[in-house]
Amino acid sequence: MKKVAVFNLREFDEAEWFEKYAGDLGLELSTCPDAPDMDNIASVTEGCECADIITSQITRELMAEFARNGIRYITTRTIGYDHVDLEAAREFGIHVGNAPYGPNGVADYTVMLILMSIRKMKRILERTNIQDYTLEGIQGRELKDLTVGVIGTGRIGRTVISNLSGFGCRILAYDLYENEEVKRYGQYVSLEELWREADVITMHTPLTEENFHLVNEKTLSQMKDGVVIVNTARGALIDSEALIAGIENGKIGAAALDVVENEFGLYYYDHKSDVLSNRELAILRGFPNVTVSHHMAFYTDNYTKTVVRDSLSSCKLFMEGKKNPWEVC
Ligand code: NAI
């Protein structure tokens, strides 16, 4: 029976689906609750041609270790794959695949964050928790009066736009490539115009060399005063220091961040007794107008089932030498 090494396997939600789909596909699994590291790769991948991972960073060193242990295909149970060193993968002859799940989980969550931000929900929840039922300082705004700028109109961005269309807001979009469906609800504009016109900016692009720190001191200065920034894409699209400065000086009215820079190693672990070194995260969490969640916009019942099924299916296709729609490199 063909064997797949599964890292970061979560007992509480993924295990039942791994068992089901491994059975359906005729695969044997070697599982580990932790991320791959130099100490565990050799033992977990023994006898395996494929490794199944989540958003842990796969550096050149780890890639070399996977190759040394006979791994020829790595599937990540995520849409984004910027955590995998693709150059190293090519160098060591390892193929990489992702497992795109439906866009609705992240798109719904994004709309929730937009609404939470413009309605000052963090402040409201904090007040009700201590029985402070006053109104001063929690007046919100209505989406119909606002312009929402959507950066990245791929699967998630487009679903956000279609979700937003029911609220009556003006929708501006920016992408390297235009999509006809988006034009039913909004208008493509230049990035400069989007910065200038949008009351709310939400990001839905992968992280690339070109858009690293897309939101920075300079681009922030081109935005409207009181702009709301929502990021459910990748942390490094925003320069955290510039963001903090923008919040402190009042340029930014609110932010909602499902992702932050340097989140690797923090998210999905219980760190409540630890002193953490991500200062930006600590500062951002403390602001009353910043909502932070731990990179889980995707996390729905539908997601779990789909990624487990598709990541194992892609391993099977790879091992059988068949055409693999999930392969990215
Ligand atoms: P997609 O590939 O369907 O769409 C991405 C869009 O971004 C494409 O239309 C592409 O042309 C555009 N794009 C790429 N580089 C750009 C640039 N420099 N400027 C403007 N547009 C650019 O991807 P999808 O499924 O919509 O996901 C988007 C991103 O959301 C993922 O890459 C991932 O980083 C993030 N994500 C976050 C999750 C979370 O739980 N917070 C879960 C899933 C994805």
Low-confidence ranges of the chain (pLDDT < 50): none
Q: For residues 157 and 281, state if they share a domain.
A: yes
Ligand 1 centroid to 256 CA: how many Å? 17
Q: How far is the CA of 302 from the centre of ligand 1 (A)?
A: 19
Question: Is the CB of 237 within 6 Å of ligand 1?
Answer: no
In a domain, residue 309? The reply is yes
Distance 206 CA to ligand 1 centre (A): 4
Q: Which class for 22: exposed (0-12), middle (13-18), buried (19 or more C-beta within 10 A)?
A: buried
pLDDT at 265: 84
Query: Global pTM?
Result: 0.89
Measured distance CA(199)–CA(252) in Å, rounded? 10
Residues 154 and 31 in one domain: no
**Is 192 a known active-site residue?**
no
Q: Are residues 12 and 62 in the same domain?
A: yes
Q: Is 157 in the pocket of ligand 1 (CB under 6 A)?
A: yes
pLDDT recorded at residue 104: 98
Q: Tell me whether residue 327 is in a domain.
A: no
pLDDT at 80: 87
263 is catalytic: yes
Catalytic residue among 77, 158, 234, 309: 234
CA contacts within 13 A on the Cβ side of 42:
3
* Number of domains composing the chain: 2
Please check whether residue 329 lies inside any domain of the structure: no
Considering the domain architecture, whether residues 24 and 78 belong to the same structural domain is answered as yes
- Co-location of 47 and 95 in the same domain: yes
* CATH assignment at residue 114: 3.40.50.720
Structure confidence by residue, pLDDT tens digits, 122-142: 999 999 999 999 999 999 999
Give CA–CA dist 94/73, Å, rounded.
5
261 is catalytic: no
Percent helix, percent strand, percent coil in the chain, to nearest 5: 40, 15, 45
User: In which domain, by residue range, is 203 found?
Assistant: 104-292
Q: Both 37 and 118 in a single domain?
A: no
69 alpha carbon, distance to own chain's centre: 30
